[in-house]
Amino acid sequence: MLSQGPVGHDLTVAFASGSLNNAETHYTTSEKELLAVVWATKYFRPYLYGRRFKTVSDHKPLVWVMNVKDPRSRLLRWRIQLAEYDYEITHRRVSQNTNVDALSRIGSVSKEDDLSDEYDEDRKKKILYEFHDSPVGGHTGVNKTCRAIKSQYSWPNMRREVEEYVEQCRSCQVHKMLTPKHKAPMEITTTAEHTFDKCYLDIVSPLPVTQGNNKYILTFQDDLSKYVVAVPIGHQDAETVARAFVANILLKYGTLCIIQTDQGANFVTKVFRNTCKMLKINKIQSTAFHPESQGSIERSHRVLAEYLRHYVNEDQTNWDEWVPLFTPFELLFGCPSVLPSASKKPPEPQYK
């Protein structure tokens, strides 16, 4: 725990935690305590480097680490690593060091409770199906699927089982494309400073006509958070686009500062321009025949198409029923959505 102020009346700045590997679990108590100090100073280096600070521990022998003489000792090597910092190690009794001690015990208890749950093969298959195959899972890759499952469940060799499950998913093999990964160069961008300050608007077309007479998708994306909204519409004329824009975006998320579109006829007509002018939205346009100007929303179209391919019927006439499920919940609300299997668990306490 990183805190600021006099010891005993300090205020918390940040929390951090880590786990020991198999070799580190065999260290002595003094070695584990100093290892925690080395790890914490490295983690909080931007806050600590260049200023004097105190390291408070309930392990009193740690105060005498500066007197270690054995050159083969780990303590001496770690003391050399800490030589670049201006610090002082002080002792605090266990009864007075309750703020950090209590947090460490809560973590150990929660891990033991999670590991104590036994998952049979049927339950594992249901969890894997819910987080990967179901419309909520969206047939994501190994990393995203494993990260989502880890937030609620834990069992031995979980990642290996997730990898095998995803590799054997027939829908992923049929509908996903393998593309090389490219690292974009570091560039200074004009990304907005606040959510919904600058947003993009575009049309996905043409698509098969659905049973609800929808043929197009109006897509909206926030420049900062990359939050995406997709709205099925039947026509792409300016009046329909303006009405869908106001009803499904502005009335839910508020008025925008800047909206950027391409130079399509439905966005440059007086109807859409007057709508933005009436709502005091700065309407700008991207360069003609230069889709890179709206590269992020164009990339989201590919993700949307990949998602729909997993669930639409053979004649592709029900894609508008699946579009509302394509919503990045955590980007806007700041927490992952609760799935049906997780709702059966009792609520966990939140420590802030």
User: For residues 295 and 301, what is the distance between their CA atoms, to the nearest angstrom?
Assistant: 10
pTM: 0.64
pLDDT at 56 over 60: yes
Minimum mean pLDDT among 179-183, 214-218, 234-238: which range?
A: 179-183
Q: Is the omega angle on the peptide bond into residue 71 within 30 degrees of 0, that is, cis? A: no
Q: Are strands 258-261 and 282-285 parallel, antiparallel or unpaired?
A: parallel
pLDDT the model gives residue 109: 46
Summary mean pLDDT of the chain: 85
How many Å apart are CA 295 and CA 221, to the nearest integer? 11
Question: Which amino acid makes up residue 41?
Answer: T
What letter represents residue 311's amino acid? Y
Beta pairing class for 2-4 and 86-91: unpaired
Separation CA 56–CA 91 (nearest Å):
6
Q: How many CA within 13 A on the CB side of residue 172?
A: 18
pLDDT, position 77: 86
Between CA 307 and CA 144 the distance in angstroms is 14
Find the mean pLDDT for residues 140-155: 90
pLDDT at 75 over 90: no
Rounded Cα distance, 129 and 206, in Å? 32
Cα separation, 258 vs 269, whole angstroms: 17
Beta bridge mates, 56: 90
pLDDT of residue 180: 80
pLDDT of residue 112: 45
